[in-house]
């Protein structure tokens, strides 16, 4: 219980999330029995997922990158006085998504190797390209400003040392820039810091509505069940991406969100406070953790940053992840699954019960709220690697985000490009290294061809919809 509450609290802090929480807990669990240690770690990890969505919804600040897409509709709902409804919808989606992902994990164990082999560098490259194509879909209004935002995101994404070729790009002679511009400081700056500057300058509260929080709880429940097919699709997307090593939770979050935009009616409502955006992003976020256990435990290949830290915990306790782990330490695998399941259900229950209390923060005077959020935000970015440079990055992106708000330029394409840019670039060069610079490797597998087909569908679907709508009207 203590681990669950700690995870939930840490998840609410900007920039902390599951990766840092696990890293802080691992030394404390060194003296524990392995079964107890992994129960604590899994419970804390489950708690961070939902905690990150709470801060994304209430103060436009995701606890970590995997909650990034949640703020796209979660925070506008808060601005409309529907923070309690958004938190409840997030809580139900999170718990159900976790159950869905863990169920896929259990059912997939017998065919683990066959699943993992489907996704190599060429396939992951096309997955990233598919994600980038949705930028054309999410840009609303001025196409030029949206493309500028996405282009800046790609430029920011390729700063630093290339992980595959070891080439330095735009480091300006600074050692701190060798790792490039980190996603978390940029994310917190663009959304949290920029939003606080905006609130203070305008002198208004985060919430502009007066919706009843209790009715919001009931509506949040109804929303998830009314959109059950959207929930299932999003959980499947998150589950599939969770299996793919090295892609990470932010990609699952965004890909699920934008598949919802493509497949749901009235997609123009997304980004304005549509609860379907919260359901899609949070269902995928928690489903990916369940399936992320497949490559981590079954092959010793982490599917995300938090799974990489969990992998380190296994090594610390003298346990070797891989095919034999499931046979020789099945009790540990069972306890991880059970702890993740219980912690997700427990944190979601706590979130539902306290949603109206949590929503009170949005009605605080911005002169009180803004300094607190800024201090917590800067602390979160500093805690990533104890480097003051990250605070400056956060501040600069905060100023950039505020300028973009004033110029009515969407920040979403920039963040999406920063998430997917490194995935595309690294796997492009990795695939060429494997093939000896033969470009045919990108078209050799059925999985690659499926992703190429999805790219084509994503690009032409909006035009097909317009054509069909015009035919119906005619």
Would you say residue 326 has pLDDT above 80?
A: no
The ranges assigned to domains in the chain are: 2-473
Q: Which residue has the higher pLDDT, 277 or 105?
A: 277
Average pLDDT (419-428) is 88
Question: Whole-angstrom Cα distance, residue 69 to residue 53?
Answer: 9
Q: What is the reported pLDDT for 68?
A: 82
| Res 212: pLDDT | 47
Can you read off the two tokens belonging to residue 247?
Answer: 């892609």
What pLDDT shows up at residue 456?
A: 87
Residue 140 has a pLDDT of 56
Q: Is the pLDDT higher at 229 or at 259?
A: 229
The most confident of the ranges 23-37, 323-337, 440-454 is 440-454
Rounded Cα gap, residues 285 and 50, in angstroms: 9
Q: What is the mean pLDDT of residues 205-228?
A: 71
Checking if the pLDDT of 214 tops 60, the result is no
């Amino acid at each position: 219980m203590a681990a669950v509450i700690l995870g939930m609290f840490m998840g609410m802090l900007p920039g902390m999330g599951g990766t840092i929480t696990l890293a802080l807990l691992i030394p404390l669990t060194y003296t524990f029995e392995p079964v107890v240690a992994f129960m604590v770690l899994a419970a804390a990890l489950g708690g961070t997922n939902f905690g990150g969505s709470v801060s994304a919804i209430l103060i436009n600040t995701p606890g970590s990158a995997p909650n990034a897409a949640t703020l796209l509709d979660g925070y506008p709902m808060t601005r409309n006085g529907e923070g309690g409804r958004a938190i409840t919808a997030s809580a139900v989606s999170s718990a159900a998504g976790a159950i869905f992902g863990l169920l896929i994990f259990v059912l997939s164990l017998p065919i683990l190797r066959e699943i993992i082999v489907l996704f190599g560098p060429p396939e992951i490259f096309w997955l990233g390209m598919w994600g980038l194509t949705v930028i054309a879909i999410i840009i609303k209004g001025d196409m030029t400003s949206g493309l500028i935002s996405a282009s800046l995101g790609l430029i920011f994404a390729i700063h630093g040392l290339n992980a595959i070729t070891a080439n330095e790009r735009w480091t300006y002679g600074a050692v701190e820039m060798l790792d490039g511009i980190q996603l978390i400081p940029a994310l917190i700056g663009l959304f949290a810091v920029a939003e606080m500057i905006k609130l203070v300058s305008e002198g208004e509260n985060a919430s502009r509505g007066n919706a009843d929080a209790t009715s919001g709880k009931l509506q949040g429940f109804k929303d998830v069940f009314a959109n059950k097919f959207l929930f299932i699709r999003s959980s499947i997307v998150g589950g599939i991406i969770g299996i793919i090593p090295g892609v990470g939770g932010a990609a699952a979050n965004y890909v699920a969100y934008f598949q919802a935009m493509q497949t749901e009616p009235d997609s123009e409502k997304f980004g304005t406070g549509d609860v379907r955006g919260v359901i899609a992003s949070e269902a995928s976020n928690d489903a990916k953790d369940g399936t992320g256990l497949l490559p981590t435990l079954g092959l010793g290949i982490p599917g995300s940053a938090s799974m990489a830290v969990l992998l380190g915990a296994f090594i610390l306790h003298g346990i070797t992840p891989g095919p034999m782990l499931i046979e020789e330490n099945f009790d540990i695998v069972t306890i991880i699954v059970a702890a993740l399941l219980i912690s997700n259900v427990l944190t979601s229950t706590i979130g539902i019960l306290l949603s109206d209390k949590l929503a009170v923060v949005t009605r605080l005077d911005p002169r009180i709220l803004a300094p607190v959020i800024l201090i917590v935000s800067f602390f979160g970015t500093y805690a990533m690697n104890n480097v003051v440079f990250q605070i400056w990055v956060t501040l600069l992106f905060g100023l950039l985000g505020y300028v973009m708000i004033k110029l009515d330029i969407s920040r979403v394409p920039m963040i999406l490009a920063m998430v997917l840019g490194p995935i595309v670039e690294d796997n492009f060069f990795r695939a060429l290294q494997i093939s000896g610079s033969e470009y045919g490797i990108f078209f050799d597998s059925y999985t690659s061809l499926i992703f190429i087909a999805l790219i084509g569908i994503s690009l032409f679907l909006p035009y097909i919809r317009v054509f069909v709508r015009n035919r119906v009207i005619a």
